[in-house]
Amino acid sequence: MLEPLFVDTGYVLAYINANDQHHDEALQLESYFAGHPLVTTDAVLLETGNALSRGFKAQAIEIIQHFQEAGDVTLIHMNPLLFKDAFDLYQRYRDKEWGMVDCLSFVVMREMKLTTALAFDKHFEQAGFRLLAANHG
């Protein structure tokens, strides 16, 4: 089985928005991660829906539905313990500009023993994870 990859909001935004600085790279990466199981959170989907609500709402709806229904995607739902763990991490690293959704992603990745994220956000590297987007495999 191929390594599961965590999908971050930034990757989805770059994939959908042709004006995003990482759009071409996001499209190129699609062929690389084909076949890999994907993991994301409902917080990432909320962030995606918010960011794409102007101008890309139809695409946002389509991709959110895909993540909810696809057999190769594990969608982790927020719960009180995950929120607490994410907030603890958020508080612990006051010197970092990590957002709450990033912290939630890091908690999920650690709990699931994931090492690689489909992301353009250097915060993942700061937290000790590998960016697939930065390395192309």
CATH number at residue 53: 3.40.50.1010
Amino acid at 135: N
Look at residues 43, 48, 50 and name the one whose alpha carbon lies nearest to residue 63.
48
Q: What domain range is 90 assigned to?
A: 5-135
What pTM, to 2 d.p., does this model score? Answer: 0.93
Residue 90 · residue 103 · CB < 8 Å: yes
The number of folded domains in the chain is 1
pLDDT tens-place string over residues 22-71:
999 999 998 888 889 999 999 999 999 999 999 999 999 999 999 999 99
What are 98-117's pLDDT values in tens digits? 999 999 999 999 999 999 99
- Which has the closest alpha carbon to 117: 35, 3, 2, 8? 8
